[in-house]
Amino acid sequence: MSMVGELRRKVVKYLENGIISREGGEATSTYLRKITRERNNVEVGLYSYGGVFEKGFNLGGRVIVGRYSSIGSNVRYFGGNHPIVHFSTSPFFYRQEWVDKVGGVKVQDIERFTLQIGNDCWIGGNVLITCGCHKIGNGAIIGAGSVVTHDVEPYSIVAGNPAKVIRKRFSDEEIDALEKSKWFDLTPEKLLKLYQFKDKPVQFANGCMEIFEKE
């Protein structure tokens, strides 16, 4: 990159960081969410933060992230597959110049997948998520360095290579109450009013539903 190009990149980065800071940082910046959606094909809900905004987070697919989720650094989602039934799996042969000469698979025809990460998920650093995983449920926790190959149920704690369920965070009754409450649609200010129930999922969920009923 030329000196002029590098200077331009730094100026743009400086201006973007200023806008993001004025909008409250990663947790609430609408501008950051806009450029992440346009550049990386990743939609990020309010109050989510971390590695989800990294350039290399989404490799070839589409990702939708809910609210209040915490994503560690160097998390990678592989949203596309190399064709294993061709003589070569190399993307070299997807190049348009080859397609124009001899036909074959165009890069835009390669199957792409969508990953949905729920609300209030916690994904540790250096996690790899393959295209075999389509959904990570609300409240799920994924241990650092795990390789996730299948869907993760709500409020499950998984870890390992391949990632396996260690345990559920709460009882089935508590998970059902949290899921029905849709608490993640409330603002932090409203949720803090229920802080006394932080370790009582059913009471917390009931309190959230009462707030919704009053609105």
CA 97/CA 80 separation, integer angstroms: 21
71 three-class SS: strand
Residues 70 and 107 in one domain: yes
72 and 61 both lie in a single domain: yes
Cα 65 to Cα 44: distance, rounded to the nearest angstrom: 5
Residues 34 and 133 in one domain: yes
* Residue pLDDT, tens place only, 81-135: 777 777 777 777 766 666 666 665 566 667 789 999 999 999 999 999 999 999 9
Domain carrying residue 155: 13-169
Query: What is the value of pTM for the model shown?
Result: 0.89
**Which of 7-21, 52-66, 194-208 shows the lowest per-residue confidence on average (mean pLDDT)?**
7-21
Report the number of distinct structural domains present in the chain.
2
Claim to verify: residue 100 and residue 144 sit in the same structural domain: yes
Query: Is 110 a member of any domain?
Result: yes
Among candidate residues 169, 185, 203, the one where a domain is terminated: 169
Q: Does a structural domain hold residue 99?
A: yes
Residues forming the active site: 82
Same domain, yes or no: 190 and 151: no
Same domain, 20 and 62: yes
HSE toward the beta carbon, residue 64, CA cutoff 13 A = 8
pLDDT at 111: 77
